[in-house]
Amino acid sequence: MFPLEAKQSGGKLLPQSDLRGGVFLEEMSCRRYNKKKCEDQKKQHGYKIGTWNVRTLNQAGKLENLKTEMQKNEVSVLGVSEVRWKGQGEIRSGDYTVYYSGGERAERGVAIVVHKSVVRSVVKKIACNDRIIALKLKAEPVDILIIQVYMPTSEYEDDEVEKVYDTIEEILQEDGRGDTNSIILGDWNSIVGDEPYQNIVGSHGLGRRNHRGQMLIDFCERNGLIVTNTWFKKPKRRIYTWKAPGDWKRHQLDYILVKHRFRNSVKDVKTLPGADIDSDHNLLVAKFRTRLKKIIGFRKRRPRWDLEKLYAQRQSVQETLEEKLGAIEGESGNAEAQWNDIKECMLDTISDLVGKVEKIARKPWVTQEMMSKMEERRKWKNVNNEEGRRKYRRLRNELKRATDRAKKEYLEKICNEIMEFQRTGRYDLMYMKTKELGWKENHGIQNVGIEDSQGNRIVDQRQVLKIWENYISELYDRPNRPETLEVEPEEEVDTDEKGPYILQSEVEKVIKEMRKGKATGDDVPGGVLKLLGEGGLKTLTKLMNTIYEIGEWPKDFTEVTMIALKKKTKATKCSDHRTISLIAHTAKIIAKLLKRRIERKIRGCTWRRSVWI
């Protein structure tokens, strides 16, 4: 019997007599395992980056269509031409973030759409004009600079094209120097053709090179770039990126350029003609092998409780709080333990009965009918005959009508809810609903990190925290700050001078005066405190008296969460922010009680002094 022969035993293959056969099988198994592990790692570290001229995103349902195609084709980063959005900014829509740059009019415009798995690797955003936008990603082994371009068409003079090239080169000199892997993609409105040129253009292009194509090659030659989608042998339907009306002519106008030294990171480039967004351009996608690094944020996200549901279930929340808080028998003289018990009861109650605010879909009016129409239209995109074009146009019109109808019904529903909140005096909920009317939540382009004293942008978490620590220490450590006062020891204070115990009526009055909708410092909203009944107020008053008597505050009451709010759109320094302190709402109760007692004491002293004078 040969060493590798084996017999079947219980459904398993076992080596029969030669130990070397078993060892060899084990080695083969290890090799297969390592090979599979290597393939999994390659797949894990591979990202699809694409570009697409969508003709417009300034139509109802168009952004949802784009996101659906990105998800279906597993595209992580997509450069978009002809967005036709005004101004510059960034919006969050579902699992994607859109960074866009447009002009004063809804013409041209570019954008880069990034999946949530990549967003935390973005370290810099550059919005130049309505033809160029760029992102810089933190990656391994080198950082990645992605530039989306929309070149002028043949209607414009060459001078306009040269201006765009000059702007791109300025970005490359500023942010693409050294070991940065620069990826420049977009609609170049140029034809480089199928004729190879040095190490820049391969032999798998399409058509004959024109004048604008030669300008693109000259640009690549100056900056050490290659045209990636001319180096991979593909069928022509995977090469062309644009087709003329009636599909009588097809050209390759969209390209993805990378630095020559990083050409091995590109594993594949091809068009996806099946992707449909009612455009005459095809989606062009390149598969890159790289590993992105996440910029770890230091902002703790506090839960946003659903206050609308809290007020709707007011009775059940109040009864549950009364039952739980009334049963608390905290350790006497231990404010920390008493507060932890109270806090746990309140948080457990609102977590079970109320819950957190659910994320609002950017397009909540998108219906299943619309998605079905998109999918059906997609099937007829590449049917190149009169019937196919006729059905595609019919489905496109049906989709538009369904989109307009769904959006109108949604807006009418929101407006009715806003009017109802206004009628009942719920202006906080009215404002929240009004924000939902904005189809996109617009924020100005803001880069991560902060500038240090030398003007260098710092993105590392620890260094950024250190910069803020130094700034806040300097901000509040003023020369005129009062020195620490010597306080009389507690044992030397007469019992009569300590004042009376805090009454339950005092606590209840302070809670009633608290404003609704204020940000919390300890996750317990003021609206919950307003729902406390007799048992809850009694337990809370006991905590206030413990603090008042022993002079020790719970840890949550001594901690302050500082929030930095931008004073201007492009805030780059600490001084460009306004610092806001968030304090626990329950801590405000004891602080307000002490403040009132001190004020009464001061008023009494002033009155005696005036009488004596």
Show the domains of the chain with their CATH numbers. 46-292 (3.60.10.10), 307-358+493-612 (no CATH), 368-438 (no CATH)
Asked if the model's pLDDT at residue 562 lies above 50, the reply is: yes
Q: What is the DSSP string of 518-569?
A: PPPSSS--HHHHTT--HHHHHHHHHHHHHHHHH----HHHH--EEEEEESSS
On whether the CB atoms of residues 306 and 354 are closer than 8 A, the answer is: yes
The 10s digit of each residue's pLDDT in 257-304 is 999 999 999 999 999 999 999 999 999 999 999 887 766 554 555 666
Percent of the chain residues past pLDDT 70, beyond the cut = 80
pLDDT at 148: 98
Rounded to a whole number of angstroms, the distance between the first and last alpha carbons of the chain is: 121
The C-alpha atoms of residue 324 and residue 319 are separated, in whole angstroms, by 9
The C-alpha atoms of residue 208 and residue 25 are separated, in whole angstroms, by 56
The 10s digit of each residue's pLDDT in 405-426 is 888 888 888 899 889 888 888 7
The C-alpha atoms of residue 436 and residue 218 are separated, in whole angstroms, by 48
The C-alpha atoms of residue 89 and residue 112 are separated, in whole angstroms, by 11
Asked if the model's pLDDT at residue 535 lies above 80, the reply is: yes
**pLDDT bracket for residue 149 (50, 70, 90):** very high
pLDDT at 612: 40
The C-alpha atoms of residue 463 and residue 467 are separated, in whole angstroms, by 6
pLDDT at 497: 59
The C-alpha atoms of residue 594 and residue 27 are separated, in whole angstroms, by 76
The C-alpha atoms of residue 526 and residue 515 are separated, in whole angstroms, by 8
**pLDDT bracket for residue 496 (50, 70, 90):** low
Which tokens hold the place of 452? 């240090």
Asked if the model's pLDDT at residue 529 lies above 90, the reply is: no
**Which residue type is seen at 598?**
I
Give mean pLDDT, residues 388-413: 88
User: What crossing angle do the helices spanning 534-550 and 585-612 adopt, rounded to 10°?
Assistant: 60
Asked if the model's pLDDT at residue 17 lies above 50, the reply is: no
pLDDT at 49: 97
∠ at Cα 54 (50, 56), nearest 5°?
Answer: 140
pLDDT at 463: 82
Q: What's the Cα-to-Cα distance from 219 to each of 161, 162, 223, rounded to whole Å?
A: 11, 10, 6
Asked if the model's pLDDT at residue 122 lies above 80, the reply is: yes
Q: Give the residue, 117 or 445, on which the prediction is more confident.
A: 117
Give mean pLDDT, residues 387-393: 87
pLDDT at 16: 39
Q: Give the residue, 306 or 549, on which the prediction is more confident.
A: 549
Asked if the model's pLDDT at residue 256 lies above 80, the reply is: yes
**pLDDT bracket for residue 184 (50, 70, 90):** very high
* This prediction's pTM: 0.68
On whether the CB atoms of residues 399 and 64 are closer than 8 A, the answer is: no
Give mean pLDDT, residues 580-594: 88
